[in-house]
Structure 1
């Protein structure tokens, strides 16, 4: 399967437009049509309906494979380029919104840093593709357990911090006066679904036995302050690391006491040891961990 044809197919399916894909990829519309026809002939199955442009069942299945395959190819290219390139004097650090805690902030060099705030899965992809030298990603885990990160390339991860988690509730909420909360008691509560700004609801479900935690409102963004404002206004509960949940006006942060879970932060880098500013930050974070 030709990866160029596959990339064209993914772009057409994502944009639902042959002409839009041609503009984005820099091809003629005729060339895009030829790419799709060649891929369909190779696989022996129609992949797209034309009016409207939409994946067929076979096309949907191909899309499930295409993203990881193309990311793996981009990661391989970036890995080879890294080996042939001199270390950069600057540092590009990809971070998920709640991964850059006090210890990481203190370890940042005084100059030459570019921060890219991304969704958790996109942090890993940015490092794999060479768009970032290092990544900081976070999630909910049992104490000392590693995070379950997508397997997109030969990457190295290392834990650099753990802290308790708290449920953020409006100050007038009936549970706001509690000294601690069990996640199991909150499975039927109204929750904010903010997969990139807060701790994702699937992680809460997994920690509490695999059910409940229905969303009252979904927030597709990375602004933690907006997420906490939504919680304070009563639009739903959210789970955050203790440092991010503390001191929110109009809200109360109540610690989770059961099950024993923590907010874990890991640093991600390519399999080859980084150099320059990236190595210095890696060593500084390891020292503080």
Structure 2
């Protein structure tokens, strides 16, 4: 198949219509349509269904889009690698990270990169792990900082690699006036009657699993994946919660107290990138900087 036409097809799929793709590419709509027809003849199958307000991918189109995304990523990695070789690790690295890492680990890593490789341009994209993995998969980010709670399966899409870079302890967060606020460590079983503040979908599932293992179902009254909001709710006595150490380092409300829970394991931190991108000097330098920033 013609690689250039694959990239044109990718733009059609990502834009949602032939007209929108033509505007992005700076071509005429008939020229884009002609490339699509040639590609469909090569594939031997229809790739899109024309709709009044755009296009819909067929099963063959969805399958081919995965290969087109991989091709775009390979081409971006090739361009970055050539640029890095020419500029001694110059070029651009697009890094996706979840909010608490984006407020703590990533700025430290970017500072290290600025000192080590002044020509390297690092761009931060904020995204929760599922969205960050999608950004890397489709080639809109070069690497992602992600997390997985203990006991949760951690898999990455085909073609990506995940490198462990550290751990993030999880703390019990209580309002200062709570009966357990002065305890060195708290048993979850003593909190069965408390109200809880939950976080993102993965964090909520982790909270529910821990409480069930302790013998009770948590009374979840509020939910927010914003650690500033969660701490404010806790500080006002509206519940208690579990927050990772990175969130507490990014922002610590003076009205809350963090305590350890015996047996509560930290969440694992990973850097994820395309297998091919691992050969790019700029990506390797970014991975090292993230690992060093986490290590302190």
Instruction: Specify the SS of the correspondent of 1:200.
Output: helix
Determine the structure 2 residue equivalent to 1:206: 209
The counterpart of 2:149, out of the listed 140, 160, 164, is 140
Q: Please, which runs of 5 or more residues in structure 2 have no aligned partner?
A: 1-8, 22-48, 84-90
Task: Determine the C-alpha separation between the residues in 2 that align with 1:164 and 1:177.
Answer: 19
| Residues paired across the two proteins, number | 233
Task: Determine the C-alpha separation between the residues in 1 that align with 2:57 and 2:100.
Answer: 44
Task: Determine the C-alpha separation between the residues in 2 that align with 1:114 and 1:171.
Answer: 38
Instruction: Answer yes or no: is the 8 Å Cα contact 2:197–2:239 preserved in 1.
Output: yes
Task: Determine the C-alpha separation between the residues in 2 that align with 1:166 and 1:240.
Answer: 5
Determine the structure 1 residue equivalent to 2:96: 94
Task: Determine the C-alpha separation between the residues in 1 that align with 2:57 and 2:246.
Answer: 53
- In structure 2, the CA distance between the partners of 1:74 and 1:225, relative to structure 1 (3 Å rule), is farther
- In structure 2, the CA distance between the partners of 1:249 and 1:281, relative to structure 1 (3 Å rule), is same
Deviation at 1:36, TM superposition (A): 9.8
What TM-score results when the alignment is normalised by the length of structure 2? 0.64
- In structure 2, the CA distance between the partners of 1:37 and 1:135, relative to structure 1 (3 Å rule), is closer
Deviation at 1:162, TM superposition (A): 1.1
Instruction: Kindly provide the CA deviation profile for residues 77-123 of structure 1, in whole angstroms up to 9, marking residues without a partner as x.
Output: 33222323411611111001233475554332226221111122111
Determine the structure 2 residue equivalent to 1:32: 51
The counterpart of 1:128, out of the listed 120, 137, 151, is 137
Determine the structure 2 residue equivalent to 1:116: 125
The counterpart of 2:271, out of the listed 261, 264, 267, is 267
- In structure 2, the CA distance between the partners of 1:157 and 1:177, relative to structure 1 (3 Å rule), is same
What TM-score results when the alignment is normalised by the length of structure 1? 0.65
Deviation at 1:157, TM superposition (A): 0.5
Task: Determine the C-alpha separation between the residues in 1 that align with 2:234 and 2:143.
Answer: 31
Determine the structure 2 residue equivalent to 1:173: 178
Determine the structure 2 residue equivalent to 1:77: 68
Q: Does 1:228 align with 2:237?
A: no
Task: Determine the C-alpha separation between the residues in 2 that align with 1:282 and 1:37.
Answer: 37
The structure with the larger Rg is: 2
The counterpart of 1:238, out of the listed 237, 241, 246, is 241
Normalized per residue, the structure richer in helix is 2
Determine the structure 2 residue equivalent to 1:18: none
List structure 1 segments (4+ residues) > 4 angstroms apart after TM superposition.
Answer: 33-39, 72-75, 100-104, 208-211, 286-289
Deviation at 1:172, TM superposition (A): 1.4
Deviation at 1:35, TM superposition (A): 8.9
